[in-house]
Amino acid sequence: MVKQNDISPAAGSRHASKRVGRGDGSGRGTYSGRGSKGQKVRAGNRKYRPGFEGGQLPLIKRLPRKRGFTNIFRTEYSLVSIGQLNTFKSGSKVTPDKLKEAGMIKTLAKPIKILADGEIDHPVTVQANKFSASAKAKIEAAGGKVEEVADAAKVK
């Protein structure tokens, strides 16, 4: 039968506490592991708030403050430039599904906006949620048509 007074802790699991300030021969004499001089050496004087840098301008005050705001009502568009529309055949109808198949947009969840970056040299009918004014002018100048749709995901 095991008795409580016979049980001892596993070897190496218990350590003797460091006895500091018991003379130079102990290895922890003189300054008792606190270094020399200063606020951190004094007894009972170790309470300074997090981020306090001893009177130096703290890091949090040295950094620039956040500015502006995030507009939670912002509409994020999938952008397609006119130069990309040259891959479609002349006279074809460019729908959001075809743009996704061609890898020009990643998702149909976002509305699509056509931008005037690049040139188009043949007529195409383009369906999208929004067009920049110059993109609309370039498509129509090439003999194509522009169709603004309300929801890109529902257009077939």
| Average pLDDT across the chain, whole number | 90
Give the separation between CA 114 and CA 142, rounded to whole angstroms: 15
Give the separation between CA 127 and CA 97, rounded to whole angstroms: 10
Determine contact, residues 143/124, Cβ cutoff 8 Å.
Answer: no
Q: Is the pLDDT of residue 45 over 70?
A: no
Whole-number pLDDT of residue 134: 96
Determine contact, residues 105/137, Cβ cutoff 8 Å.
Answer: no
- Starting at the edge strand found earlier in the chain, the sheet holding 130-131 runs 78-81, 112-115, 130-131
* Token couple for 102: 């061609």
Best-predicted range by mean pLDDT (32-36, 50-54, 106-110): 106-110
Average pLDDT over residues 123-141: 95
Average pLDDT over residues 123-132: 95
Whole-number pLDDT of residue 23: 92
Whole-number pLDDT of residue 87: 92
What is the per-residue pLDDT across 57-107, written as a single tens digit (0 to 9) for each? 999 899 988 888 999 999 999 999 999 999 999 999 999 999 999 999 999
Average pLDDT over residues 105-124: 94
* Domains along the sequence of the chain with CATH: 78-154 (3.100.10.10)
Which residue pairs from 149-154 have beta carbons closer than 8 angstroms and sit at least 24 positions apart in sequence?
151/111, 152/96, 152/108, 152/110, 152/111, 152/112, 152/127, 152/128, 153/96, 153/108, 153/109
